[in-house]
Amino acid sequence: MRSLVWGEMMESESQDIAINVPEDEAIGHYANFVGVWHTPHEFAIDFCVVQPFLPTGPSARVVSRVRIPPTIVFDLLRTLNQNLTEYERNFGEIKRPEIQEEGGDDEPST
């Protein structure tokens, strides 16, 4: 697993940090939507699950909110880019699903 190391964040001597995941977080959380916002002192990343078929209309429920200091945002982007490049090298290009228009059906009617 490629992760940020303290040295990258602090621009000093590189030092690996062991990442310990609490047992109750080991499974993780599924998210299919991400929101990002910021204040002068932090960036917040909201990982959400979109629930499109609710009677009141589509809704996104935050499953995890992560706040990070602005000083590591570029490190996060760099690490995500490196992992994405490696993923596509191993599994092929990621293609976004095509959005079908409402009522649109590719099958001809008979």
What is the arithmetic mean of pLDDT over 13-23?
84
- Which of the two residues, 47 and 55, has the higher pLDDT score? 47
How far, in Å, CA of 82 to CA of 68, rounded? Answer: 19
Residues near 35 by beta carbon (within 8 Å), at least 6 away in sequence: 45, 46, 48, 60
> Could you report the per-residue pLDDT of 88-110, keeping only the tens digit for each?
999 999 998 887 776 655 555 54
Q: Report in angstroms the alpha-carbon separations of 1 from 4, 34, 62, 79.
A: 10, 22, 25, 11
Give the pLDDT of residue 90.
97
